[in-house]
Every structure is written in C-alpha cells, then in structure tokens.
Amino acid sequence: MALQGILVVELAGLAPGPFCAMVLADFGARVVRVERPGSHYDVSRLGRGKRSLALDLKQPRGAAVLRRLCARSDVLLEPFRSGVMEKLQLGPEILQRDNPRLIYARLTGFGQSGSFSRLAGHDINYLALSGVLSKIGRNGENPYAPLNLLADFAGGGLMCVLGIVMALFERTRSGKGQVIDANMVEGTAYLSSFLWKTQKSSLWEAPRGQNILDGGAPFYTTYRTADGEFMAVGAIEPQFYELLIKGLGLKSDELPNQMSMDDWPEMKKKFAAVFAKKTKAEWCQIFDGTDACVTPVLTLEEVVHHDHSKERGSFITNEEQSMSPRPAPLLSNTPAIPSFKRDPFVGEHTEEILDEFGFSREEIDQLKSDKIIESNKVKASL
C-alpha cells in the first residue's frame, strides 16, 4: 500500500483526528492510538486498522514513554488546543529534537495562534467562523450546518491527511520533518475557495437560498415523491434541463425560460406537484440511464444495495458484519486494503506495542504497576 512502512502515533481525540488516522491506516500506515487509561472506547468508532495503547500522558513518566515512541515514529497526530502539548513537555521543539524526521501534525479547531486558539468549539462553530455557514440554508430560514461533515471531516481530518502526505513527500528530499498547523476554520475556508472566487458572479447575486446552487433554482433542489421519499435534481446545463422537462412530462415551450429567476418560485411549485404524483421507484425508472441529472435520495441502508454501489464494491463489511464505505480514492497500483477486524479495545495492544518499541519486560511491568499504562488484552474463549 502507498503508506506501507509509515508509523503514526495518534493521540486520542474526537471525530477529525480519528478519521485522519484511519485514512492513513487504510492506505497502509501502522497506527498506534494512544488513549487515556480508564476510557472505554473510541466514541467516534473510527479505529479501523489501528492498535490501542493506554497511557497516562499527565504523568511525567507517561510523557517520557510517548517521547520514546515518537523518537522512532514518522508522524505524531495530536488534537489538543494550543499549548496543551507544551505543558506536557511534548511540544514539537522537544520531540523533533529527539527525532528530526518526525512530522508533527496538530489538528485543532482554530489553529495554533489567534485569539480563539485556546477556546473550545465544535463543527458548527468552525463552520460559522469560516464564513461557509452563512451560505447554507433555505430562503427566510436560519443558516444550518450539513451535519458535522464539512468542518470536522473535510476541512479538518481530510485536510490534515493532505498535510501529512505532503510533509512525508517533502521529507524524501530534505530528510526533515515539519510541524503541520491543520485547523478546521481555515481548512473549511480553503474548501470554499470556489465561493470566494465566484462571489461577484451571477451565481450568488440573490440572498441565501435564492440562487442556483443553494436551493433557489427549481432545477437544483430536492422534491418529495408520492411515497414520501425524495428525488434530487441537478439539471443545470440546458441539454440536461431539457431531459428533465421531458421526463416530467412537461413541454418547454409552455414554460418560462430556465434562467428566469422571477419565475423560479412558481416553477418549483409546478415541479413539486409533478414529482408528488409518482413514487421514488417510478421516477427512477423514468430517469435512470438518462443525462437528466435526476437521482434518488438514498438512505444509508439503500445505498449499500444500489446497483452502482454493488457493481463497484463501494462498501465493505468487517468481521462484526458492520458496513462502511470502501476507502477512496482507488489507486491502480497500490490500492488501500482496509482491515476487516473489529476496532481495538482501549489498551488492547499496550504491552505488545511497548515491546516492539524496545521496552523491557521489567519496564512494562513497572509502568503497569504504577498505573502509567493500562493493558486490556483479550482473553481467548475456551
């Protein structure tokens, strides 16, 4: 796999960090997740392909253990607010002095500097400060966040993956690691570059919810079907719009011009009335195989069984029969081979990891006795 041989130490956090490390693991990196003793499980459920080490970093001897791990690792991924790692004597100056090749990835909400850098926040807060939230929402309604996907996982976790991979590539030339300041506010803002670059175009000339791409256009929105399900319409180009009109059983010469914004509210009502006359399955029979850009809004249960998903093998099943998306993108020569094992228990691999990193049996036993580490090895059932 592409990241085979890369060793990553992930300090346990919520959603963005675990996702970032899971992507690295999916593509071949060996990931050690360092968790607090006494914690029960990764609430994000993104532990695929990782091993778990339970270690108390608040104890000086626990911090010393982490230093020894990082001295032999390629990447450290930490999710804490600015200044936390420095208080633990685990900042980049110290760890990169021990290991100049270490890539020190810092994944936070607001970044390592600025007046918000030490404040708490969640996806919706980062989305709000990025400017993107102001653009999302229906006409006349409050802005709303599209779940916690944009800031946490796209602007945060995935952007951090990109930073790590670029730093690994650069290290092949310089031989040195570097510090990555990945944060969800700026990552989300960067994702929205298209919005910034097109601000003065006709795409956004109307208030929120009244433009082509934000739900204002009748040909770029969703419609309820007769069975209470939904269809998604994205027929922007004229040739696709014509196929939409044809599939709806309407006549173009009896309708206003596609781009007549004044007529959009009435056109949405007309389209809604037509869509409400057939079920989702019936609309699929009409539009599947056409370029009308009309697709069913699938539930998570439905998408797994959709023909396109099955034809491409888009979903995988682990040993616990839990389904999830296959890693993307597909690499032709070195594709991801995700683990099919269950997620690790907290501290399940503590002793084997320390043994691999050169800790003696006596050191491990003492750390365990002093509650610096915790071991929760799975006992075999006879």
Told to judge if 349 belongs to the known catalytic residues of this protein, a careful annotator would answer: no
Q: Are 231 and 283 in contact (CB under 8 A)?
A: yes
Distance of alpha carbon 324 from alpha carbon 317, whole angstroms: 7
Angle at 53 between CA 14 and CA 351, to 5 degrees: 170
Distance of alpha carbon 246 from alpha carbon 241, whole angstroms: 9
Told to judge if 122 belongs to the known catalytic residues of this protein, a careful annotator would answer: yes
Rg (CA), the chain: 25
| Amino acid identity, position 131 | G
Distance of alpha carbon 28 from alpha carbon 151, whole angstroms: 25
Distance of alpha carbon 43 from alpha carbon 14, whole angstroms: 7
Distance of alpha carbon 187 from alpha carbon 73, whole angstroms: 26
Distance of alpha carbon 347 from alpha carbon 12, whole angstroms: 12
Distance of alpha carbon 14 from alpha carbon 126, whole angstroms: 15
Query: Active site residue: 56, 123, 152, 343, which one?
Result: 152
Q: What is the DSSP string of 72-84?
A: T-SEEEE-PPTTH
Give the single-character DSSP code of 109: S
E strand spans, 114-270: 179-183, 220-224, 230-234
Q: Are 218 and 264 in contact (CB under 8 A)?
A: yes
Distance of alpha carbon 227 from alpha carbon 324, whole angstroms: 27
Pairing between strand 179-183 and 373-374? unpaired
Among left, alpha and beta (phi > 0; psi -120 to 50; other), residue 59 is beta
**Residues designated as active site:** 122, 152
